[in-house]
Amino acid sequence: MAIKTIKNFYSNKREATRKTNEEKSFMAPERNWSKGIRTLYSKYERHIGTLTIITGFIFDNLTLREASIDAQTMVFIIYLILSGVSILFLHFLESREKKENKGYLHFWVFLLMQFTIGGLFSMFFVFYSRGFALSASWPFLLFLFANLVGNELLKKEYTRLSLQVSLYFIGIFSFFIYYIPVILHEMDDKIFIYSGLASLITVFIFMRLLELIYFKRVNRSRLKIGFGVLTFYILINIFYFTNVIPPVPLVMKDGGVYHNLSVNNRGDYIAYKEPISEWNIFNEYPAYNKIQGESVYVITSVYAPAKFGTQVIHDWQYYNENSKKWISASRIFVPIIGGREGGYRFYSVKQNITPGIWRVDVETLRGQNISRIKFEIVDADFTPNFEQVIY
């Protein structure tokens, strides 16, 4: 009886071992597949990061520029939600896994976090760079691009909770800078302050959720997180109050300098411009051949969301060769109303304009530059060829 019991014991043990091996064999393809991808990613991580930057930037540049404001907003919100959830879930996994024994799920969640944060900065860079004057806004765009590149190439640094939360805060703040004016249908310093407060409240709620998931790690990183969030909050405020941040949601759709202007019975603007010759394609200040006695027209079309009302300025400036400075010749204020897909059209006209290098800055009341139109006035003793443009 005892021998039979021993036999049954070993028989049951062998059967259990066989089933366990079968289960391992069944799960092996999935784990080997995941392990293979992880190995491949680790081997070519730097090249994959570079390729992701290039392809992601091209894709966002081609799609985001043509998307409606509602579609852009929806994509931004999806990216913000996915990046926030991936950070929370990543630290939920880390609170339950040993540091040296992170599973394949941790790997995929980390990739999702890196992808969504990188996607946010890629989209923000494209969105904030539309129709802007590079000379005014390049520091803020460089700041966004540096975060985009860092997200792809500095993976080890992105494992730090303090950096993850700080970057997430930048994404939240960049979103509210553009979205709060859309909701309130206006933009000024007060609206920007509201955007900052909404960002701080959002990141505070996010930190409370993180504490519920992994209190020890959050508690260890509390000072670093606070320092990072406060640093980026101050930096973005400096960018705004020095007019470095482009004035989103206002976007320049079209514009140029023209000979003559009329309005047809449908309300369209009919204007005439000189065809750009092959000699003028790469000229920063293309020649405008002015006939004696004629006026010079600058037409711009600025997009703003529906029910959005504000004022913009055409600041006509000429370059003084003696002082080597730009001198403002006239500032023309124009109220605009949002909602038109092609942008709100308006024009200004300059009479008795002198030959030389000119530019017209299209800007907000507080001096944020929407766009800049450059040209050189040349006195002509002939009538140039014109082509018709309809706004």
What CATH number is associated with residue 386?
2.60.40.1930
With a pLDDT cut of 70, the percent of the chain lying above it is 71
Asked, for residue 331, whether it belongs to a domain, the answer is yes
Q: How far apart are CA 391 and CA 270, in angstroms?
A: 7
Q: Are 63 and 179 found together in one domain?
A: yes
Average pLDDT over residues 69-74: 79
Q: Are 55 and 167 found together in one domain?
A: yes
Q: How far apart are CA 21 and CA 131, in angstroms?
A: 62
Q: How far apart are CA 177 and CA 171, in angstroms?
A: 10
Is the pLDDT at 174 greater than 60? The verdict is yes
Most confident of 44-48, 82-86, 135-139: 82-86
Q: Are 236 and 262 found together in one domain?
A: no
With a pLDDT cut of 90, the percent of the chain lying above it is 28
Q: Are 186 and 50 found together in one domain?
A: yes
Residue at which a domain ends, from 207, 241, 275: 241
Q: Are 202 and 335 found together in one domain?
A: no
pLDDT at 7: 46
pLDDT at 268: 86
pLDDT at 66: 57
Amino acid type, 94? E
Is the pLDDT at 20 greater than 70? The verdict is no
Q: Are 233 and 120 found together in one domain?
A: yes
Asked, for residue 84, whether it belongs to a domain, the answer is yes
Summarised one tens digit per residue, pLDDT across range 113-123 is: 877 877 777 77
pLDDT at 144: 63
Asked, for residue 32, whether it belongs to a domain, the answer is no
Is the pLDDT at 1 greater than 60? The verdict is no
Asked, for residue 95, whether it belongs to a domain, the answer is yes
Tokens of 150: 């860092």
Residue at which a domain ends, from 193, 215, 241: 241
Tokens of 59: 């894709």
Q: Are 151 and 228 found together in one domain?
A: yes
pLDDT at 341: 73
The domain in which residue 313 lies consists of 251-390
Domain total for the chain? 2
Tokens of 184: 């309130």
Residue 278: pLDDT band (50, 70, 90) is low
Tokens of 276: 């750009």
Asked, for residue 22, whether it belongs to a domain, the answer is no
Model-level pTM? 0.73
Exposure string for 97-135, b = 16+ CB within 10 A, e = fewer: eeeeeeeeeebebbebbbbbbbbbbbbbbbbbbbbbbee
Average pLDDT over residues 378-388: 86
What are the residues facing 320 on neighbouring strands? Answer: 325
Is the pLDDT at 373 greater than 80? The verdict is yes
Asked, for residue 85, whether it belongs to a domain, the answer is yes
Asked, for residue 28, whether it belongs to a domain, the answer is no
Asked, for residue 352, whether it belongs to a domain, the answer is yes
Summarised one tens digit per residue, pLDDT across range 297-329 is: 999 988 888 888 889 999 999 999 999 999 999
Mean pLDDT of the chain: 78
Residue 86: helix, strand or coil by DSSP?
helix
Q: Are 130 and 111 found together in one domain?
A: yes
pLDDT at 54: 56
Residue 203: pLDDT band (50, 70, 90) is very high
Give the DSSP H/E element, type plus range, for residue 91.
helix 69-94
Residue at which a domain ends, from 208, 241, 274: 241
Residue 26: pLDDT band (50, 70, 90) is very low
Q: Are 168 and 276 found together in one domain?
A: no
pLDDT at 111: 77
Is the pLDDT at 153 greater than 60? The verdict is no
Amino acid type, 322? N
Average pLDDT over residues 128-153: 60
Is the pLDDT at 201 greater than 70? The verdict is yes
Q: Are 285 and 375 found together in one domain?
A: yes
| Tally of CB atoms within 10 A around 88 | 17
Q: Are 70 and 162 found together in one domain?
A: yes
Q: Are 159 and 275 found together in one domain?
A: no
